[in-house]
Structure 1
Amino acid sequence: MIVEANNLVAGYGQRVLIRNLSFLIPAPAFVAVIGHNGAGKTTLFKAFQQKVPYQGQLLVQGQDLRHLSNPAAKGILSYLPQKNTVNFPIKVLDLVVMGLFRKKRFFENYDVADYTLATQTLAQLQLSHLQDQDFTTLSGGEQQLVWLAQLMLQDADISLLDEPTQQLDVYYKNQVFRLLQNWVLQQHKTILCITHDLQNLMHLQGYLLNLSKPSPILEPISPEAVQQNQAYLEAGRQLV
């Protein structure tokens, strides 16, 4: 059992966005978290990070997240926010190697082994040609792949990604989802990914979790399931 939610209730003050949510991910998998704006997608991720109060249980690898101190530092959980910005010149390789920062002591420098690992990660993603370039000069799609390379270097068992393909063109959307799929199948990682790009999920292996439904469950991804959930969301909130 990798991830388990039991009767999760979460929100902000009197505004409850998640009610009695339960699901179980028994093995490494890709889970697309979908739903209308305000359905509780980001709230779910904040609960995983202990940044919003909640009732019920969130378990990772059988352990209650409330009782885990700094799961990110322990390589259990990592997070890629919806917007990551860099406003100063920095080489791609130097940005990627920062994925190891939780494994370093305070003020400890990155060494040759760290940079070798960062170089290998970029090569694995076919991004070696970018490693010496200034990150701020890259296209939006290239930047997102670099952020994913940094996330990979964290090597967490479970990763939370908040709309990683937002504002990307079709080519880079496909690249990102291909990367995430390989990450699950080859590296045996578990990924929870908030997305509105349902059409790009058609032929992936994994699950849909539609938080707009009255009783959300994990639904195996298939073209039929994607189309049904797309129609459900397009029908509007009156069905929720």
Structure 2
Amino acid sequence: MRISIDDVTVTLAGRDIVSGVTLVAAEGEIAGLVGPNGSGKSTLLRTVYRHLRPRTGRVLLAGRDIRSMSTAETARHIAALPQERGGDFEFTVCEVVAMGRSPYKRAFAGDDAADHEAVADALDQVGLAGYEGRGFAALSGGERQRVLLARAFAQRPDVLVLDEPTNHLDVQHQVELLALLRAQRRTTVISLHDLNAAASLCDRLHVLHEGAVVASGTPREVLTPELLAKVFGVRAAVVEHPLTGDPLIAFDHREPAGPHPSGGAGRAFVSRSGHP
């Protein structure tokens, strides 16, 4: 399903954290949000999975305002993996993943064969088959992250909303997760700090700076040395990855580009196609 963010502004504590953002993730597209810390990525994602209500604008799922849908109906279509995980769960891995089936069930209904199949399939996808009986609280941070991703997969959603899903994962599991998301081709809106991972995974990137989208386009269009210097405050070269052909950012770790951008400097950027 297509997800559209239409002129969304989010105000928290009297300040606009996200300001007039418009972007689209087409059906089957992986749309990445990148930007410095505090640029509004997580806040914007929270509006997509209904944790926050925008002050203005709307989020559309296949043309329908998600605020016109019930919470359960939204959850049958949109699954989220937020950054905030809450406290330790005193549940088994199987019980945590089975929580992803709740949008399809009546209150206090037991699990049926379809639920068991969805849970088993989700755990297999994240490489945790055989972990069903383990306690969630006893897992490593990376294992917990994969269990929570399995919970999102168990919802069998049309849209995935993922906020820094590679946090706590080692390199092998980061690569496996990105490959899994790429292979699924499910409509996905994802925030990533790792710009090289974003360049490899995403069909389109939207760069946020101070709550506004300052560039949109393919990774090759967006990730230029000029943008990296002005938005991220780093000196870098963009070359071709020798194995994949994707854009590869080589950062200069010895010399920064200069003072980190402030004010509205980054807002002058637009995509090469001319769209914000």
| Coarse TM-score class (shorter-chain normalised) | 0.7 to 0.9
2:162 corresponds in structure 1 to 161
Name the amino acid aligned to 2:174: K
C-alpha contact 1:91 1:134 (8 A) present in aligned 2 = yes
C-alpha contact 1:92 1:131 (8 A) present in aligned 2 = yes
In structure 1, list runs of 5 or more residues that go unmatched.
none
Q: TM-score, normalised by structure 1?
A: 0.84
Alignment partner of 2:27: what SS? coil
Q: TM-score, normalised by structure 2?
A: 0.74
Deviations 1:33-92 (A, max 9, x none): 111222211221232216233212321111122322226555122221213255355332
C-alpha contact 2:34 2:207 (8 A) present in aligned 1 = yes
Alignment partner of 2:214: what SS? coil
How does 1:129-144 map onto structure 2 within 5 Å?
129-144=130-145
Q: Greater shift after overlay, 155-164 or 67-76?
A: 67-76
Name the amino acid aligned to 1:124: Q
Alignment partner of 2:16: what SS? strand
Question: Whose RCO is larger (CA < 8 A, sep 6+)?
Answer: 1
Cα-Cα RMSD: 2.5
Alignment partner of 1:105: what SS? coil
2:253 corresponds in structure 1 to none
Cα distance, 1:148 vs structure 2 = 1.0
Cα distance, 1:191 vs structure 2 = 1.2
Number of residue pairs matched? Answer: 235
C-alpha contact 1:163 1:193 (8 A) present in aligned 2 = yes
Distance change (3 Å), C-alpha of 1:157 and 1:82:
same
The CA distance in 1 between the partners of 2:30 and 2:217, in whole Å, is 11
Name the amino acid aligned to 1:171: Q
The CA distance in 2 between the partners of 1:87 and 1:204, in whole Å, is 30
C-alpha contact 2:25 2:188 (8 A) present in aligned 1 = no
Name the amino acid aligned to 1:95: V
Distance change (3 Å), C-alpha of 1:73 and 1:104:
farther
**2:193 aligned with 1:196, yes or no?**
yes
Distance change (3 Å), C-alpha of 1:113 and 1:56:
closer
C-alpha contact 1:207 1:218 (8 A) present in aligned 2 = yes
1:211 corresponds in structure 2 to 208
How does 1:10-159 map onto structure 2 within 5 Å?
10-48=10-48, 49=50, 51-70=52-71, 72-73=73-74, 75-85=76-86, 87-159=88-160
Deviations 1:163-213 (A, max 9, x none): 1122333222222222222222xxxx2111122111222322422111117
Alignment partner of 2:20: what SS? strand
C-alpha contact 1:72 1:78 (8 A) present in aligned 2 = no
Identity over aligned pairs, percent = 27
Distance change (3 Å), C-alpha of 1:50 and 1:125:
closer
C-alpha contact 1:8 1:57 (8 A) present in aligned 2 = yes
Cα distance, 1:23 vs structure 2 = 1.8
